[in-house]
């Protein structure tokens, strides 16, 4: 895509701190890191979100995430690594080229807000109804 920042990063038209690439994926450091080592993994072929990305690229990203997460653990020794992936402007996807965030947390560093939410018990009837609706749409 001509005007896509991440496509430009893959082409080398915008500089990036690359940590890994293979024939399908490219991984690089986020320039607004939530924490040191915040890494993005993207498909080389432009796809906007989870609905558009081909299964082969999706699988390649998740296989690469294991390789990169292992490297993050060896290089930085974090107490955990969060994986986050946003789809759609309604959930604050800002770059419309599929990307998986890997965000490490170091011992003694603040809690990552993306990993913490209040556990409030839901309405079981509604949970059942919604689950059935989704299950009925699976194909
Ligand atoms: P999301 O779309 O999931 O909200 O996040 C997009 C991410 O891309 C943000 O964390 C942002 O910092 C990162 N980002 C946006 N533009 C650039 C860029 O030009 N270079 C790099 N390395 N990261 C970017
Ligand atoms: Zn793109």
Q: What are the tens digits of pLDDT across the range 1-46?
A: 789 999 999 999 999 999 999 999 999 999 999 999 999 999 999 9
In a domain, 92, yes or no: yes
In a domain, 128, yes or no: no
Query: How many domains, in total, are found in the chain?
Result: 1
Rounded to the nearest angstrom, the distance between the alpha carbon of 3 and the centre of ligand 1 is 14
Ligand nearest to the CA of 97: 2
Taking CA atoms, 3 is separated from 37, 69, 129, in Å, by 27, 29, 41
What is the C-alpha separation between 85 and 82, in angstroms, rounded? 10
CATH code of the domain containing 105: 3.30.428.10
Active site residue 38: no
What is the C-alpha separation between 97 and 102, in angstroms, rounded? 16
In a domain, 123, yes or no: no
In a domain, 124, yes or no: no
In a domain, 91, yes or no: yes
Residue nearest to atom 5 of ligand 1 (CA): 94
Residues 6+ apart with CB under 8 A from 33: 103
What is the C-alpha separation between 96 and 18, in angstroms, rounded? 20
51-105 pLDDT, tens digit each: 999 999 999 999 999 999 999 999 999 999 999 999 999 999 999 999 999 999 9
In a domain, 131, yes or no: no
Rounded to the nearest angstrom, the distance between the alpha carbon of 39 and the centre of ligand 2 is 17
In a domain, 85, yes or no: yes
Full residue range of the structural domain in which residue 88 is found: 5-110
Mutation probe of ligand 1 site: the residue of 28, 94, 98, 99 with most atoms within 8 A of C-beta: 94
In a domain, 52, yes or no: yes
The residues that bridge with 81 in the sheet, in sequence order, are 104
pLDDT recorded at residue 2: 80
């Amino acid at each position: 895509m001509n005007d896509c920042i991440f496509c430009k990063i893959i082409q080398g038209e915008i500089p990036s701190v690359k940590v890994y690439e293979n024939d399908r994926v490219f991984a690089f450091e986020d320039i607004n890191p939530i924490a040191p080592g915040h890494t993005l993994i993207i498909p080389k072929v432009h796809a906007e979100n989870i609905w558009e990305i081909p299964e082969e690229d999706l699988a390649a990203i998740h296989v690469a995430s294991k390789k990169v997460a292992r490297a993050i653990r060896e290089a930085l020794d974090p107490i955990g690594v969060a994986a986050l992936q946003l789809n759609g402007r309604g959930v604050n996807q800002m770059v419309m080229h599929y990307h998986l965030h890997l965000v490490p947390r170091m011992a003694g560093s603040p809690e990552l807000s993306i990993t913490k939410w209040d556990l409030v018990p839901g309405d079981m009837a509604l949970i059942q109804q919604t689950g059935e609706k989704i299950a009925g749409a699976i194909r």
